[in-house]
Amino acid sequence: MDLDVITKYSALHAKPGGLILQYGTAGFRTKAEHLDHVMFRMGLLAVLRSKQTKSTIGVMVTASHNPEEDNGVKLVDPLGEMLAPSWEEHATCLANAEEQDMQRVLIGIIEKEAVNLQQDAFVVIGRDTRPSSEKLSHSVIDGVTILRGQFHDYGLLTTPQLHYMVYCRNTSGQYGKATIEGMEMKSNERCCSFDGDADRIVYYYRDADGHFHLIDGDKIATLISSFLKELLLEIGENLNIGVVQTAYANGSSTRYLEEVMKVPVYCTKTGVKHLHHKAQEFDIGIYFEANGHGTVLFSKVAEMKIKQLAKELEDNKRKVAKMLENIIDLFNQAAGDAISDMLVTEAILALKGLTIQQWDALYTDLPNRQLKVKVADRQVINTTDAERQAVTPPGLQEAINGLVKKYRLSRAFVRPSGTEDVVRVYAEADSQESADSLAHEVSLAVFQLAGGVGERPQPGF
């Protein structure tokens, strides 16, 4: 161990003088800006612990539920448990040692714990999604490498996943395989994912040739509306159904709904509040954004009628009316809800005996591309016709119209994002190549006519 090298590198992760921290139940936690030295030193300590236990040790960079400006670090012991209490004390001493005392404290730990420095060391590292976490995890890695430890950086990981990895690695895979996927996607198997707050859902599968198929909100809306329409037909009830989409709905889905299923389709501005509002106009209003936000609304009149029919009708018709009555309760009519949408979808697939491939085959999505363009002020773009036409800046819509004409089955629109400081560009066409090229050309038009900043949009994705 070259103490001078350690001292030199430690100075690059210098401790703010006088800062005192405590290794508590959740390791160290404080403002991220005060943690660089702690991370470096925990990298050193993890190597010593690994050498002493002849095992893999984990280091997790996270401050869990604390505010974004905080961060933290904790070590994971060989069987995936929390760090042993005696080493928590070492962690505290090492983190709090002033720069000039760091070497002495480090040697003290090595001696006290009889660490054999010749022993190999291995450290696994994980981090949360805080903006500061990536840089701080690199400081951990600096500490590990300076003590010649080997490491594997898992990048983004949940805390329990890191504990699990450590346990698996130290039991030669007996406890389990040290992989983070958790889920193996077998071919043609139905899968679904929610977004972070579980108000969006998408389904997907990989076919026998290994191709990935995404089943988005448009296809979920199609499945639900065809099911509801069939049930209404069976009980001879003519309730007024409407499907609400945004301009991001794939052109094939709109065509299928209107021309094959014969249900009226309406387009609103992006954002669930607009879709929800429009869906309230129907007896049964089905609304979904392509990205999986959506639900179904039943008017009070429709609900009462269905409830009444579930009591009055007989035999199979009664069963169907009962099914409709139950499905009303399965939807979350307050807002799009991934869990309730999943339960509805699963119920429909089971009742209809549909595989995910059969569902997917209802129609084929038109190839499409979404891009973002940075402009000085995205509010210079004003739109109309549910965001499908740009009214300002002058000339932009004309330019888009000219570009769209060059491609088959094409469509494109631009709008300022409501959640990011960008202009979103959407294009679809008969081939992926055309959709990509149209999206690129429209991006250039936005860049030129709407005050693009930074580098001009480049072709290729």
Binding-site residues for Mg(2+) sit at 64, 195, 197, 199
CB of 339 to ligand NG1, least distance (A): 17
Beta bridge partners of 152: 124
Closer by beta carbon to Zn ion, 58 or else 292: 292
C-beta pairs of 303-309 under 8 Å, 24+ apart in sequence: 303/328, 305/237, 305/239, 306/237, 309/235, 309/237
Which one of residues 184, 197, 259, 315 is an interface residue with Zn ion (CB under 5 A)? 197
288-317 positions binding ligand NG1, by CB under 6 A? 289, 291, 293
Rounded CA-CA distance 181/166 in Å is: 16
Which of Zn ion, ligand NG1, none is residue 142 near (CB under 5 to 8 Å by kind)?
none
Q: By rule CB under 6 A, what string of x and - marks binding of each residue 236-265 to ligand NG1?
A: ------------x-----------------
CB of 165 to ligand NG1, least distance (A): 32
Q: Would you list which residues are annotated within the binding site for substrate?
A: 289-291, 415-419, 424
**Identity of the residue numbered 75:** L
Compute how many residues bind ligand NG1; rule: CB under 6 A.
11
Q: Does 339 bind Zn ion (CB under 5 A)?
A: no
Closer by beta carbon to ligand NG1, 161 or else 250: 250
Beta bridge partners of 344: none
Closer by beta carbon to ligand NG1, 88 or else 216: 216
Contact 223, 215 (CB under 8 A): no
Stretch binding Zn ion (CB under 5 A), from 187-195, 295-303, 356-364, 414-422:
187-195
On the CB side of 400, how many CA atoms lie within 13 Å of its CA? 27
Which of ligand NG1, Zn ion, none is residue 424 near (CB under 5 to 8 Å by kind)?
ligand NG1
CB of 291 to Zn ion, least distance (A): 9
CB of 369 to ligand NG1, least distance (A): 12
Which of ligand NG1, Zn ion, none is residue 270 near (CB under 5 to 8 Å by kind)?
ligand NG1
Q: Which of 365, 372, 335 is nearest to 204 (CA)?
A: 365
Instruction: Pull the structure tokens for residue 442.
Output: 């429209």
Q: Which of 74, 78, 87, 102 is nearest to 17 (CA)?
A: 102
CB of 418 to ligand NG1, least distance (A): 3
CB of 182 to ligand NG1, least distance (A): 26
Which one of residues 68, 195, 377, 430 is an interface residue with Zn ion (CB under 5 A)? 195
Rounded CA-CA distance 414/173 in Å is: 51
C-beta pairs of 426-433 under 8 Å, 24+ apart in sequence: 426/247, 426/248, 426/368, 426/369, 426/370, 427/368, 427/369, 428/250, 428/251, 428/366, 428/367, 428/368, 428/369, 429/366, 429/367, 429/368, 430/366, 430/367, 431/367, 432/367, 432/369
Contact 386, 267 (CB under 8 A): yes
**Identity of the residue numbered 23:** Y
Which one of residues 36, 70, 128, 199 is an interface residue with Zn ion (CB under 5 A)? 199
Q: Would you list which residues are annotated within the binding site?
A: 64, 195, 197, 199, 289-291, 415-419, 424
395-424 positions binding ligand NG1, by CB under 6 A? 417-420, 424
Buried residues in 375-392 as b, exposed as e (16+ CB within 10 A): beebebbebeebbbbbee
Q: By rule CB under 6 A, what string of x and - marks binding of each residue 260-279 to ligand NG1?
A: ----------xx--------
Which of Zn ion, ligand NG1, none is residue 77 near (CB under 5 to 8 Å by kind)?
none
Closer by beta carbon to Zn ion, 143 or else 292: 292
Q: Which of 10, 64, 226, 410 is catalytic?
A: 64
Q: Is 354 helix (H, G, I), strand (E, B) or coil?
A: coil
Stretch binding Zn ion (CB under 5 A), from 25-33, 46-54, 193-201, 234-242:
193-201
Contact 204, 193 (CB under 8 A): yes
Q: Which of 452, 257, 259, 224 is nearest to 342 (CA)?
A: 224
| Known catalytic residue at 437 | no
CB of 245 to ligand NG1, least distance (A): 11
Contact 37, 142 (CB under 8 A): no
**Catalytically active residues, by annotation:** 64
User: Which residues sit at the interface with Zn ion, rule CB under 5 A?
Assistant: 195, 197, 199
Using CB under 6 A as the criterion, which residues of the chain lie in contact with ligand NG1 when the complex forms? 248, 270-271, 289, 291, 293, 417-420, 424
